Each structure stands twice: as structure tokens, then as C-alpha cells.
Chains A and B, each alone.
Chain A
Amino acid sequence: MKNYYRRSYALALTFALFLTYYSPTFSQNQPQKTISGIITDGDGPLGGVNVLVKNSARGSISDLEGRYSVTAAANDTLVFTYVGYKLQEVAVGSNNIMNVVMEVDAQALDAVVINAGYYKVSDREKTGSIARITAAQIENQPVSNPLAAMQGRMAGVNIVQNTGVPGGGFSVRIRGRNSIRADGSEPLYIVDGVPYPSQSLGDSRVSTVLGYVPQSPLNGINPNDIESIEVLKDADATAIYGSRGANGVVLITTKKGKGGKTTFEIGSSTGVGKIKHRMELLNTQQYLSMRREAFANDGITEYPSFDYDINGTWDQNRYTDWQDELLGGTAYYNNAHASVQGGNEQTRFLVKGSYGEQSTVLPGDYKYKKSSILLNLNHSTADDKFSIQISGNYVVDKNNLPATNLVREALTLPPNAPALYNENGELNWEDNTFDNPLAALNAKYKSNANYLRANTVLSYTPFKGFGLKANLGYFATSLEETRTAPHTIYKPSFGLDSSYSILTINNGDLSSWIIEPQATYTLGLGKGVLDILVGTTLQNDNADQLFQSARDFPSNTVIYNAAAAAIHTIESDTEEMYRYRALFGRINFNWDKKYIVNLTARRDGSSRFGAENRFANFGAVGAAYIFSEEPFMAKVFPFINFGKLRASYGTTGNDQIGNYGYLNTYTTNGLSYQGNQTLSPVQLYNPDFGWETNRKLEAAIELGILNDRIMLSTSYYRNRSSSQLVGIPLPGTTGFTSIQSNLDATVQNTGLEFELNTVNLKTDSFTWNTSINLTIPKNKLLSFPQLENSTYANQYVVGQPLDIQLLYQSTGVDPQTGVYTFLDVDGDGIISNPNDRKAIRDVGPKFYGGLSNSITYKMFQLDFLFQLVKQEARNYLSDTPFPGIMRNQPTAILDQWQNPGDDASIQLFSAGYNNGAYLAYINSYNATGAIGDASFVRLKNIALSYNLPSQIATNVDCRIFLTGQNLFTITKYLGPDPETLSIGNLPPLSVLTMGVEFKI
């Protein structure tokens, strides 16, 4: 069926005419003969290819089976063109049968065939909103998580990296945050037709080093194995995913064998990573003067015995740049891959293996390793009626890290704190006055995850226009992660031994199968074509999680052997079952390549709801009008070669609320009494909650100007998410703090998305393309009944975005007392929450986008991408330790109040004995003064490659490349990094790698 969508007769004809116009000579001298053949794209027959006899007006178009025939002479040359594919010229010579394999042209974005999940559609004829990146862009980036490869490249897709520690998580928001819950806005991931869990099996209690978030579940996909990633955004594209489509759908397609000559490819790269952005912190002199000033302000002249930094215990001339000492290391990157692919017209295969490893910037020897094997086999019968596609992917993901990332220590250790090591090379405890931060590194985090994904697609075409297909998928993953806390993380003076050592283990297993039988039918009706698709989904997921700890080991050498421990605790042993059934369909009607209507629908049933609320219907209508097909367009706007208006409206749902929420349940909480396990109630229960619904509206215009030299797409969207599934907050007097229920609140996301692709220059040896994407999102809480009576009263305001902060209005530092002051909104003389926390600051992105350029000169290619985010956020002042206590501070605090009458931005220093200052400081965390500009422009990616000329390497394609990630950032943000916006997490690293690739 897919070939059908690939056709673009009109455009192909334009090409043909264009060529004809350029070359008005005709070949008439040679005897004519009939040439015929089959045109394929290496993946199957290609219909609609324009075949033209060069320098003549004669030509033909290939049919559905890719067959063509044309009359030409032996000295003629046939020109094969098809939008989205490279032009091919083949001399006729003595041939009568000429079979041609068309090569995809990545530059021709306009006619790219897009994976819409259950069907494929050409970019030209799509009625929905779908963003896309391909292997070419992914491979340019030295990243180990596919989400990292998507950053800055797609309009409407906002991806934030949580930490620079390898294996860490990302936050993904497609067209904004739909759920009032913090965790209900994850998109649906589908890899080669098999749903991929967005929930991690990891446990944040174990993966503390990742910033107390679980590891990213997408670690199970090797970016290098990906052919394309499509993101479905609007109702037209997502409604066919029904209850799981509300937050967008990410479709990941892995690489497939292209057939033809057997080719081997090997590649390898190596590189380094560092933290580029450093905070400016006080030096020893500044720090000690802060401390002295603090004590003086507090009226304390004799320094307490435990203030070692200042009471003479520690050397007051010593200075250590703790950021350099603890986070200044270099991470090393090594990657290698090898693949072989080939086949013939009926059978194609690909086998690919990859290995990658990276270390960290933390002191010590830590590694993150990922190995993957990708297998793909396609076969079709000679008559093309039956085909089978098998793909398998196995990924082993191992992570070895310390259990803590030392960021906070690096930022707050007093600069005159003692040396890390004593003369004997042992950890220095400075007579028990120093909590040596390196001791924390004795605690380790290890994770070992396996991901197996297998799927088979069986297709059968009993007769023309009719297709049967079954997608069978299986996904299994298992994870073991451990965190150790040996007694050596404590000061030796505790006198502890390994009987105090603890091992924490999290084991998770998840398996999922899916069966999706589908039937398709294509019917020509005059100038129109009707496509019908009906399918059903059966999906079962089972997950098990075992969380346990073991302590009291005979020695730390056996700390990983839980059996060696004297004491074992099983904290939790849980099981999750999810059953999902659906019926879905699509009716697409395409009239004369001009008017297209696309109807999609899905009926979903999910085990996450009580018996009365299990089923719900979702659907959408999308339509497109290709107005450039109108004859007048060519006359009035000859420079516009393509123009399309499209719109869609429909509903999708969200069931991301966890399993068993509707049951009244008791569980063991790991506690014992009198030697027996205890049972306690889990939650207040509500058997009646149902689906969250999301109504999506979109309108867009797409233009191709000057023969696609300029392509512009602008869309407006409006998504409204209602029946919000939240734990409706309850007062603690109910026994619990919330109850799962549908809250009659509506969240609206609107936005404008722009995508502009231009070919700035194009000559034989030089091309320069630019792509720009820009998203201006707007999030708004439309309604929230009884908001003022809920805890969300402190968090949300109707008419404002979800991502707001309600804050005290900072009114500077009192010139007399030197203490922060705030606006007393209710005038009661006390600064108190919530009555005075009324200032609103939106900390969501104002706009974000990317600017990428691709420049090719002869054998050189340079690509670079700038990521751009305009936003405000909480900065370091919302999390800094109390200025004046035994913690270092950023230099930004040096504008402090000192004497009555001072006009300062920072309040007086205090060592903690000034109650008023302390309370004001606590309030200042949540005041407008702690919000600052966090906009940034980041050179997200740069890639320079050089293809060795073939005279140097005959029969071998060789490419040398240099790639960089996050090489520099321009920002005014006060804090470690404007992307993570976190004080306790490692910033994303700046990475530079170089490598080489051979293709034989």
C-alpha cells in the first residue's frame, strides 16, 4: 500500500517539463526500441516514477508494481526522477530491460515518506502534524540516548536533559504539559510498531547519582540503530492511538537492509567530554571575610568549636577550587559499530553491532557501556503478494557510577577546607573536622539492563487493492541496579566496620506482547482514491519489581553478594499487570491529489479503570487542500510550486495513572512486628474514575517556493485536556493526602510552530541549506473548580500556565535592618504563605527552537545546530545555603548589606544566629528575587566530515568526521546550567569526538 502514497505525479511532471524546457534538442536519428523494467526503492517497487528520454518530450510513469516502458534509441539516456529520490541517468545502449533502484535523497524533504504508525503518508499529502528526524541527523551527534538526538530539531517538541551523568533521564513535552499531575505528560513511544514503556524500571532510591530520578527507559535504544524518528503531534496523527495519544506519539524506526550489493560498514569514534560552564564562587579570602562578617553581624566574637573554617582549626590561607577538584575531570568516549547488509529483490538483510562507552568527569574510574545488536530481514514472494519482515534488537546497557555526583559539595565546600588526601595518600579527615567528600565515592551505583525487542510483520495481498497485515511484537527488559553504602563512606573515627555496610538492590522485569491484525483496502473512485484501514490491538504487559536491601557484611569485598549479608530486608515485591484492547480504523479519501480527508478512530479498553469505565472512544478528522494544484496558482503565483492548507480536530486520551487505582487495597510495607509482616491500607479508593480526554485542534499552511528552494510550514494548535486524572488533594485528616479521581479542570496548550527550510546556495560543489524551527507555546489553566480550596491553590492560578511559581514579591533589602523584605499583600504585618505569595512568574519556555545549517563543499560537510530557549527559572538564589554559614557561595552574593543605609541586593550575612534574617532567607527561596533569566543559546551540535576521494581509496567509501555536542552556551543564568536548571545535578557535558567510517 505504501507505494501508493509515495506518488506525486504532478510534481514529477513539473520536473519533467523543467528538464524538457532546458534541453530543447531531440534525438531522432537512431532506431527506436521499447525499453521496459521495474523500478524499486530497494524496499519494494516504486510507482509513479517519472521516466523521461533525455532531450526529448517522450516519457512514461511507472505503475503500482514499479513497471514502466518507454520507447528510446540506443544512444539515448533515460532519466528517472521521483520526488524524494535522487535523479538517475542511465544510458540505454543495447539494453531492452532496465531495472533501476532509486536512491532516497535526504535533501528533498518535501516528498519524504513519513511513518504515521499504522500507515505511511507522503509529506505532501499528509493531513496531520508530524515532525521527523533521520539517521543523517542522529548519527552526527555523540549521544547515547535517542532523546538527546532530538533536542532542538523539532518544532513543538521540548526535550530537557536532567543531568550530565551518563544514563540519566530526560523530560519530554510534546506541545506542552497537558496534565496537572507532574507525571502524566509522557508521550507514547513505539519502536518498529511495538509500544515501548515510558516508565522506567529504575528506582530513584537506588539511582541517587542521576539526581534522584530513575534512569531513562530509552537507554534501551541505541541512537545509531535508528533510521528515523517521527513525532505525531495533532489529533489527525494521534487519534488512531486513542487513549495513549494525548501527549503525542514518538515513532522510532530502526535501520533496515536496503538490498543490492553486500556492503560492509565499520566505524569508530573517540572523544572527550568536560563541564564547560562553571559557577563563579568565593575564594578563600572572600569566603572568610563573609564568615567573619556573619559572626560580627550576629554579635558573636568567640567562634564556636565546630566552625573549623574560621576558628583556627583549618588553614585560613588554603584555597581549593572544588569545582575543578571534584568535577573538573575529563570523560572519555569510545564508540564503534560494524554492519553488513545486502540481498536481492526479494530478500534483504541487515546485521549491525555497536558498542559505546563513556566515562565521567567525576574523580575515579566509572563507565557507562552500551552494546547493541540489530537484525533485520525482509522477504517477499516473487509475485509480491506475501511479505514478511522480521527485526530484532538486543541492547545491553551497563552503568557504573558513584552513588553521588558531588555537585553540591563542589559548589558549597568551604574553599579553605583541607586537602582530600594526606601525605600517605589516604583520605584526609583533618582530625575528624572534615567530612571528606571523596568518601562518598566509596558508595557505588551499578546498573545492568537488557532490552530485547522483536517484531514480525506479515503482509498478504490476496488481490489488488486489498491487504492483510499482522504486526506481532514482543518486548522484554530486565534491570538490576544496585547501590552500595560501605562503612567507608563514614569517618573512620566512627569506628565502624563492614557490619555497617549496606547493599540496596532493585530488580525489575517487564515483558509486553502486542498483536495487531489489520486489513486495508484501496479503491479508486473516479479521480478519487479511498483507503480504508481496520485493525485491532491486543496488548498485555506484566512487570515485576523487587526492591531489597542487605546489610552487615563480613567484608566489603563481598558487598555485592547479598547472600553474604547477615540481615536482609525485602522492601517491596510488586507486580503490575496491564491489559489493553483496542479497535481502530482509518478512512482516507484523496480526490485528485488536491482534496484529502482523513478520518481516524479508536475504541480503547484498559485494565487501569474500574469495570464501569473501561471503554472509551476517540477519533479525529483531518483534511488537506493542496491549492497549488489549482491551475490559477501557477499563473498568479508562479514562484509557489507547492501550497497546502490543512486542519484537524479530534480527541485523544490519557491513561497514565498506574494500575489498580480503582481498588481498595492493603499491602505489606516492609515492616515487621513480633516477627510478623504487617499490612496497611494503600490508598483511599475511588472505583469510578475514567479517562482523561484531550481535544486537539490544528490548522496549518505549508508552502514550497522557488521549486522548493524555500519551504515553509506554519501551524497553530490548540489542545485542551480535561477530566484531569489527578490524585485530588485531600486534607490529611482523611488519612491520605489525595484520592484518584477525574477533576473537572481543563488545561489548554496553544502554540505556533514555524519550520523553514531553505537551500541558500546550490552549485555542483557547494550547497548550503538552513533549517529553522521555532515554537511559541502558551500553556493555560482554563478552569479548575474549587482551586482555591485545593493544595494546588498554592501552585496554580486559573488563567495562568501550569508552569508558574507563586512567590513573594521581593522588595529588596531593608536599608536599616539589612534583611530581605517582601510585599505584605494582605497587610497583616506578617509575611506568610499563601496570603502573601501572590506574585506570579511563568517558568515555562516562552519560545524555543533550533537553527541548523548544513554546508557541503566538495567532499567536506559541515552541520551545526544552535538550540535556543527563552525562559525564566529559579536560579541559584532559590537554593543557595544561608549566606554566612559554613558553606561556600557564588560571588553573586557579594552585593550584601553591611551598614545601615546600604542599598544592597543581598541581605546581611549571618552565621545562623539571626532569626529574622533566617526566616527572610527561607522566604527568599520562594520570592521573585530568586527567579532569573534562564534563556540560552547553545551550540548543541556541530559535525564536520570529509569523504576521502575515491582515488585515494578505491572501492572503499571512507569518511572522517569530527562532532561536538554542547560546545558552548551563551546564558545569563545564575546556576550550574540553564537546561537542567538544577543545583544538584551535573550539567550536560561538552563533548568532542572524532571518528572514521569505512564502507566497502
Chain B
Amino acid sequence: MKNSYIIKRQEKIIFFLPILLFLFSCDGLEVDTPKHLLTGETVFTDSKTVEAAIISLYANLRDNVLLTGSVRGMSNLMGYYADELEYVSPYGLGDENFYKNNLSANDGTVLEIWNGAYNQIYAANAIVEGVQNAEYFTEEERDLYTGEALFVRSLVHFYLLNLFGDIPYITTTNYVVNKSVSRSPANEVYDHIITDLLQARDLLPLTDSTGEHVRPTKYVASALLARAYLYTKQWTLAQQFATEVIENNGWEPNVENVFIKSSPSTLWQFSPNREGDPTHEGEIFVIPYAPPNERVLSTQIIQAFEEGDLRKENWVGEISDGTQSWYFPYKYKIGIGGNNPQEYSIVFRMAEQYLIRAEATTMLGDMETAKADLNKIRSRADLGNTTAVSQGEMLEAILHERMTELFSEHGHRFFDLKRTGNLDSALSFKPGWESNDRLLPIPEREILLNPNLQPQNEGY
């Protein structure tokens, strides 16, 4: 290799070829948005895609978050947590920690509830923010979208508040703000919830245009307002909004038809993923064979029914292996895999509004209205009028009626025991129950990532 070369000009040019090629090819780095993604900017330029973003809120609530009838929803988890469901799996699976009131701050399901709920709140806030651009939407459209998003935002916060106690109220998508929020006292959270609901109530339509009650209306917002006022002991307002709902919506007199999708007493129900899909409640509650291997209806619920209660006959299923019988919630009849043209999963229904008004009027001393409302529920179940006389007896009777009317629906039982201060007395029979269990733990991950969420709820 003694012979040395001097690089000639043409060789230099050849050397620069790759460099030139590189420079020319750099434009090729732009990629199109792929078929499965839409950018946020695109979504909020078209009412069709905004509509898709809004129904995604309901679809997620139906299938994944809080109100879902699936195993991850309140109906199941808080049913276990209170005294509605019994856990009969021999395998130590899944929901046992809820049943045994054995939750820890690093419980995966609790984290899932928390994250899923705040994800819904983010999606709702993104809609509130996204539709403000007047360029693409009419005022009507914007009102509708904002009303639905605000309703969902307050609904989800309502459940978070009642599960976890003081929580942050999130009103923006800005993660820089949201990552260091603090817990607000419960009364402030209620203020936010009520403010949002009052606004949503103004913006939402009087009726659901589909006629199927699958979209929240003004009265659904009022129904949640009535509940929020009840929970905060603002009896007059609770009575006022329950009355508004009762006076403007129908009533299904037949117990058998309450949970079919055309029931006039339904205020809001979920449209199924596919027409004919069974409800998630049906999928998890209906027991096809004995012995059952997950959940059964508790002895407490079964014993709560008075003799001749049509609800026990119609809403409770029984299965036997020949020697032993088990009971299960049977409000929805179609179980896993079945074809179900008749049932949608119901979220808000009239019976609750009567019970809210009964309780509010009891507290306000209007015992006649209270009794009438309570008897309205009882008579549908073919039970005689209530024998309660005093305010205390009435409250007890209403709580009992809520137990038999609303069992296995979205954790009503737990929330009722909690707000009436009856948790400890009602659940003391459970070996794992402690007073501190009235609140779920704030997920440990949250406190680690955002120390402003301290302190942890007592007992965790």
C-alpha cells in the first residue's frame, strides 16, 4: 500500500452523492395521521365526531367505569362491600377484598375505579373545551354538547366523592394543573357538582330525541340534583327537584316491566354496545347452574323482603342443586351470551325520586306526602301501606324500602347506609368491617405522584 492517491474531483462528487441524497430525502419524514387515529383538532371541527366523543362517555360508563353493570362497577363491588352480595368463590378470585372489606391502598381495582373515573372527567372536559370554538358549531349544538359533558363530569365526581371522601374537582384538561391538585372538602365538591348540574339542566333538552331514554335530559340532571340535595340534607331542594322529575315523567305500574327498556319510569338507561346484547348486570348476576361459583344475593337482602313482596318474586332469581338453594339479583333476565332485545341497563329511574321525596318531606315534616310516595312504591310491589308513624319510623321504613327496591343497583345500599350513619350497625356482622371502611383508600399511586392528595383516608 505504498501507492498514495490524491482524491480527484469526480471522486469527491461521488462522495457527496450520499450526502445530497440524504438532504433531499429528509422531507420523507412526514407521516400521515394513520387510519386509526384522529387528531384532537380534527375531532372538534365536525359535529359528527364530537357526537362520537360524547357517546364514548356513555359507552365507557356502560362498560368500564363506575356505573357499569360489569364486575368493575358499583353494583357489583359496592354490593359486595355492603350487605347485598355474598362471595362464594372457593378460588380466592377478584372481588374478595371488597366482600371482606379488606382493601388496601394499593388495591388494583380501587386504582382502576379512580383512574377510569378521572379519565372520563378528562374526556368530558376535553369536550367542554373543544366545542367552545364558535367557528364550527351552532349555539344549539354547543349547548347540547356542553350540557352533556357537564352532566357526566358532575355525575362521575358525585360517585368519586361518595366513595373516597374529599376529592379534587377537575375542570380542565391541562395536566400541569391537574397533576398537583389538592383534595377539596366534600361540601365544596358538592358545590361544584351542583353548579355543574344546574348549568347542565339549563342546557340539556327536555326529552331524549331518540325516545329511548339513552341520553341524559334536563330531568336526568334534576334527578341527580335531587339526589345530591338529599345527600347534603338540603331537604327543600331535594323535594323540589324530585317533584320536578316526578311531575314530568311517567310511571310503570307493573313490577315485571320496570326493567324492560320501554318502561316509562326509566329516566336514563344505557344503549347497548350492540342491539341484543345482554346487560352487564344480567351477565354477572344471573346464575345459570348450581352450585354458583362467584356471587349470590345476600341473606340480608332476602330476609328484608316482606311476605308477598312481588319484587322478591320478580326481581330475585333462585337456583338449586337439589339440596341447597341460592338467590341472585334477577332484575335483568338475560344472562351471559343471551339474546336480549328487551333490556337496557338502567341508571336513573323514577322509584328513586319518589323515595328521595319521601325522605325529604319526612325531614320537612310533610308526613302525608312522604307516606304517599312510599306507598306508591309499596303498592307496586303489592304490599300494604306503611305502618310507620313517627319521623324516625318513617326514615327507617324508607331506608328499608330503598334496600328492597334499589338492591344491586349502583351501590345505593352502601351510599344510603353511609349518608344515614347506619354503616357500622348494618355491617357489623361482617368480620372484616371497620368504621374506617366507610371510605375507600385513595390509591397509593396517586398520593405518591401527587403528595397534595395527602392525607390518606383513615385506616389505610
Contact = CB atoms under 8 A, between A and B. Distances in A.
A319 B291 CA distance: 25
Contact of B51 (A468, A676, A736): A676
B448 A536 contact: no
B42 to A, nearest CB: 8
B446 interface: yes
Interface string B1-37: 1111101000100110111011001101111111111
Given A519-B18, A524-B3, A678-B52, A432 B289 contact: yes
Interface string B160-187: 0000000010100101001101000000
A491 interface: yes
Interface in B78-130: 88, 90-92, 96, 100, 102, 104-106, 111, 114-115, 118-119, 121-123, 125-126
B38 interface: yes
A523 B29 contact: no
Nearest to A524: B1
B360 interface: no
A887 B288 CA distance: 25
Contacts of A551: 337
A334 to B, nearest CB: 40
Interface string A778-821: 00000000000111011000000000000000000000000000
B18 A663 contact: no
B4 A523 contact: yes
Nearest to B337: A500
Given A665-B37, A733-B446, A734-B178, A538 B105 contact: no
A832 B442 CA distance: 13
Contacts of B431: 913, 915
Contacts of B21: 517, 536, 538
Contacts of B104: 832-833, 919, 922
Given A575-B36, A794-B448, A677 B5 contact: no
Contacts of A466: 11, 14
Contact of A307 (B14, B19, B90, B100): B90
A495 B338 CA distance: 12
Contact of B11 (A496, A521, A583, A660): A521
B37 A682 contact: yes
Contacts of A793: 448
A679 B134 CA distance: 21
A575 B37 CA distance: 9
A887 B118 CA distance: 38
A972 B450 CA distance: 42
Candidate in B18, B63, B168, B453 with the most chain A CB atoms within 10 angstroms? B18
A735 B17 contact: no
A567 B274 contact: yes
Given A572-B36, A679-B52, A607 B31 contact: yes
Nearest to A309: B90
A603 B11 CA distance: 22
A266 interface: no
B408 interface: no
Given A666-B43, A731-B450, A582 B22 contact: yes
Nearest to A497: B337
A739 B175 contact: yes
B337 A499 contact: yes
B339 to A, nearest CB: 8
A582 B23 CA distance: 9
Contacts of B62: 673
A666 B123 CA distance: 10
A530 to B, nearest CB: 9
Contact of A886 (B35, B90, B450): B90
A698 to B, nearest CB: 28
Interface string A541-585: 000000000011000000000000001000011111111111100
Given A660-B34, A732-B114, A523 B55 contact: no
Interface string B130-164: 00000000000000000000000000000000000
Contacts of A519: 14-15, 17-18
Interface of chain A: mostly helix, strand, loop or mixed: mixed
B92 A881 contact: yes
B55 A673 contact: yes
Contact of A680 (B28, B123, B449, B451): B123
B5 A523 contact: yes
Given A517-B17, A521-B11, A732-B446, A882 B39 contact: no
B28 A681 contact: no
Contacts of B100: 915, 918
Contact of B92 (A677, A789, A912): A912
B83 to A, nearest CB: 17
Interface string B444-460: 11101111010000001
Interface residues of A, number: 103
A521 B16 CA distance: 13
Contacts of A637: none
A842 B78 CA distance: 39
B170 A885 contact: no
B330 interface: no
Given A666-B37, A680-B60, A579 B28 contact: yes
A583 B178 contact: no
B289 A791 contact: no
Given A305-B324, A581-B29, A790-B449, A734 B175 contact: yes
B289 A671 contact: no
Contact of B121 (A582, A660, A668, A735): A735
B210 interface: yes
Candidate in B34, B41, B60, B275 with the most chain A CB atoms within 10 angstroms? B34
Contact of B30 (A535, A578, A607): A607
B315 interface: no
B18 A583 contact: yes
B29 A577 contact: no
Given A577-B34, A681-B126, A885-B90, A737 B115 contact: yes
Contacts of B34: 574-577, 659-660
A731 B448 CA distance: 8
B420 interface: no
B36 A574 contact: yes
B56 interface: yes
A839 interface: no
Nearest to B2: A524
Contacts of A846: none
A919 B460 CA distance: 12
B267 to A, nearest CB: 17
Given A605-B26, A881-B92, A912-B92, A534 B15 contact: yes
A732 B290 CA distance: 40
Nearest to B34: A575
B207 to A, nearest CB: 15
Interface in A650-707: 659-660, 663-669, 671-682, 684-685
Contacts of B39: 663-666
A525 interface: yes
A512 to B, nearest CB: 14
Contact of B55 (A603, A605, A678): A678
Interface in A596-614: 603, 605-607, 614
Given A519-B14, A567-B274, A681-B40, 4 more contacts: A496-B288, A673-B62, A678-B55, A679-B52
State the 3 A-B residue pairs at the shortest beta-carbon distance, nearest first.
Answer: A735-B122, A678-B56, A524-B1
Interface of B: 1-5, 7, 11, 14-15, 17-19, 21-22, 25-26, 28-43, 49, 51-53, 55-56, 58-60, 62-63, 88, 90-92, 96, 100, 102, 104-106, 111, 114-115, 118-119, 121-123, 125-126, 168, 170, 173, 175, 178-179, 181, 210, 212, 214, 270-271, 273-275, 288-291, 293, 321, 324, 336-337, 431-432, 443-446, 448-451, 453, 460
23 contacts: A305-B324, A432-B290, A524-B3, A577-B34, A580-B29, A581-B29, A660-B33, A664-B41, A666-B43, A668-B52, A669-B56, A673-B214, A680-B56, A730-B179, A731-B446, A732-B446, A734-B118, A734-B179, A737-B115, A791-B448, A912-B92, A915-B432, A918-B102
